[in-house]
Structure 1
């Protein structure tokens, strides 16, 4: 029987050469492989996949618009939501949503994400109206939003199947799903942090339905809420199995739990090394997912920069607005010139992409870099600004079940 070191080396060499590793090998590599060897193998996988453009690292300009904080799921890691009967609840009106979309276009943004609570009144019709009005006013904007959890909720509110819900919001203007609500897919950690959400299996079933209807998505993972190493690898296995069938996941985006103002109270968190190892392992293990994104927003700019040496090919976005992880303590900010310089500082050529990862422009000459610092993350905050907000007392709120 091969000794552990030779087994790890053989698995890393096979992955670097384009071979597939098993979940058992993935767990052993995640736990025991030397960090630099793991990173080198992941970078070799990235370079092979992107031969001819392996010198590039991409980013996108987008806006995450929060449309309501009213939510019935009460996830323990969330610092953003308000219960349906709380006076702290609010809802963004359509006029203000459209204003923010227009501002995004003016600042060079190409993508809109929507993130909000599972409001007891928001069925399929709510999203149909919102998406159709945005597309009517700003057809150039890509609506990359929501995830299987929102589909499960809106289907229940409107008493329709997930298939019908996906079809209707796609026809209204949704271009792709952002993979929201994946959190942790294995049963034990999911029940521990989000007991009122659908199961991880159901989340994946709805994503598979969407993929089969021609609606692609990204997929995510929340690290640091008390899950085991084995459960992290199981999360990746569950994603890879669905991807083998559908090919609909464009990217994998792990991010870290933020410890402030939520029920978990920061009792457990992922370390920087755990995050780097997960990025590298994901690039090695998810051989059927095209892109791996490093999250500077939750881990910090320096660690985000390091992910580009550990298999990531994308550094996410200049997010013009974000309030969900910020409410839980994520304080990292950036602007366009700084994000470009972060990428260049990793010995990569920065390139702006769109939602489908097509390259829009390459910043190969620093003399021609954009200097407009108005394109800055957290340009505005739903929480700080009262514009376009209807408070809970002016809403019709349905009683929650049970």
Structure 2
């Protein structure tokens, strides 16, 4: 088994962590890379203090009493564009999601190789025709590049056309760690270069589409890679202002390279530390930090919400026509569960749009009253 670099360089001296904590509490922007690395290795009382500092920072940039969420529906582009028997019409799936209260469709994955050259745009048009007010959050950088290549367009030209027919924002997934060596090790050498991800995301921002930003940890990265990744996201945000949120995600065992094994994945300590550091290192640039609740156990979700995160993400409603039409099918979060999580961290559940605005009253999902608030 290959021992992860994270496990080696995340062991920090208590004195280094204490010094970094003092600076993080007063001026996180002044910390050096070495100090951030030290904080990623925090444990015990130092880790608790780091998380408390991160949560204090959260309260200054978002509603301190709110736990936000969006009502959304996931679609796997490859599935819904396959034309296979048993796949309902996209219009029916979209209408069902709208009737169930979804304000967002999240669609990721490539269209089939034999699909029409303008297949991505056709999907957008179909969704927009059924539910014009539905926000479409779709197409990662690899799909954006695929769509542009199929149509013989530049990246900005393709994104402009997608925006004009109804695309609202793009997922900042497929970022993993924005380091070519790390990406090559994860993919066996087949990953697209970091420059392509940056080009695609910045092009989206430049044509008026916002995006999420992401960080995938718990694999072959070192803590210095984590710091460099977050600094690069900050640089992009300084140039474009187009990131709506940061989603920090652990590598799941089912997706891990074989050489890692189960023991190579992130611990609960690491998960708490990386979320707290993500909040503090992007402080003043990216307002929202989202919990990837489908990838974490419930107790860890609570820990992260107490350590700098303000958003629980999407409910991921499935519907009944074809629950398997989307990624992570079967992992639905109910309104009652959101209310319970909010109560556990002393907040109130607040429904939001994809862009963190307030949805029209007619689209609000009923949320149970939280006793004692």
Determine if the TM-score, normalized by the shorter chain, exceeds 0.5. Answer: yes
The residue aligned with 1:68 is: 78
Say which SS state the counterpart of residue 219 (structure 1) adopts: strand
Distance 2:350 2:30 in 1: 29
- For residue 276 of structure 1, the aligned residue among 264, 272, 276 is 272
Q: Deviations over 1:158-209 (max 9, x none)?
A: 2221111111111111100121211221111111223434212220121111
The residue aligned with 1:336 is: 335
Shift of 1:363: 5.4
Alignment check: 8 A CA contact 1:149 1:180 kept: no
Distance 1:143 1:252 in 2: 18
Shift of 1:346: 1.2
The residue aligned with 2:61 is: 49
Greater Cα shift, 118-127 or 29-38: 118-127
- For residue 182 of structure 2, the aligned residue among 166, 174, 189 is 189
Distance 1:183 1:5 in 2: 26
The 5 Å alignment of 1:1-400 reads: 4-5=16-17, 7-15=19-27, 19-32=29-42, 34-50=46-62, 53-68=63-78, 90=82, 96-117=89-110, 119-121=112-114, 125-194=118-187, 195-260=189-254, 264=258, 267=261, 268-287=264-283, 288-321=285-318, 326=328, 333-360=332-359, 365-366=369-370
Q: 1:43 to 1:117 in 2, by over 3 A?
A: same
* TM superposition score normalised by structure 2: 0.83
Say which SS state the counterpart of residue 68 (structure 1) adopts: helix
Alignment check: 8 A CA contact 2:104 2:134 kept: yes
Q: 1:41 to 1:174 in 2, by over 3 A?
A: same
Alignment check: 8 A CA contact 2:215 2:249 kept: yes
* TM superposition score normalised by structure 1: 0.77
Q: Deviations over 1:312-349 (max 9, x none)?
A: 0001111124867649xxx8553221122112211111
Count of residues in Structure 1 that have an aligned counterpart in Structure 2: 342
Shift of 1:31: 2.0
Q: Deviations over 1:192-247 (max 9, x none)?
A: 22343421222012111111111110011222222211112221111111111111
Distance 1:265 1:318 in 2: 34
Shift of 1:134: 1.1
Say which SS state the counterpart of residue 366 (structure 1) adopts: coil
Alignment check: 8 A CA contact 1:68 1:116 kept: yes
Distance 1:118 1:188 in 2: 28
Shift of 1:14: 2.4
The residue aligned with 1:396 is: none
Q: 1:275 to 1:118 in 2, by over 3 A?
A: farther
Structure 1's unaligned 5+ residue stretches are 71-88, 370-402
Q: 1:265 to 1:242 in 2, by over 3 A?
A: same
Greater Cα shift, 211-220 or 227-236: 227-236
Alignment check: 8 A CA contact 2:40 2:277 kept: yes
Compare the two structures and name the one with the higher helix fraction.
Answer: 2
Say which SS state the counterpart of residue 214 (structure 1) adopts: coil
Q: 1:20 to 1:218 in 2, by over 3 A?
A: farther
Distance 2:83 2:232 in 1: 34
Shift of 1:155: 2.0
Shift of 1:250: 0.6
